Amino acid sequence: MAAKKKLNFEGAMARLEEIVSLLERGDAPLEQAITLFEEGAKLLRECTRQLDEAEQKVTILTAGRDGEIVEEPFGDTN
C-alpha cells in the first residue's frame, strides 16, 4: 500500500467538503459512510492543527517592540 501524501490546508479542506457532500447525499452504504466519516474526522483534526500553528506564527509576528505580544482579532475593523 502506498503512503498517503500529506495534504496542505487547502487540499484538506477541499477533500473535507467533498466528504461532507457525499455524506449529505445519504446514498453511501453504511460501511463506506463510516469510512468517509473517519477520514473527515482526521482531516478536521489536521486542519485545526494547521490553523492553530498559523495562529501561533501570526502571534509571534505581531509581537510588540518591547517583546510583549500584541493580539488583535482578525477582521476587526471597528
On whether residue 73 sits in a domain, the answer given is no
On whether residue 47 sits in a domain, the answer given is yes
Residue 71's pLDDT is: 64
Residue with more model confidence, 78 or 62: 62
Residue 59's pLDDT is: 73
Residue 32 belongs to what domain range?
A: 9-61
Answer yes or no: are the C-beta atoms of 22 and 28 closer than 8 Å.
yes
pLDDT in tens, 7-60: 899 999 999 999 999 999 999 999 999 999 999 999 999 999 999 988 888 777
CA distance 69 to 13: 30
On whether residue 66 sits in a domain, the answer given is no
Looking at the structure of the chain, the number of domains it has is: 1
pTM over 0.75: no
Cell 479542506 identifies what position? Answer: 13
Structure confidence at residue 1 as a pLDDT band (50, 70, 90) = very low
Residue 26's pLDDT is: 94
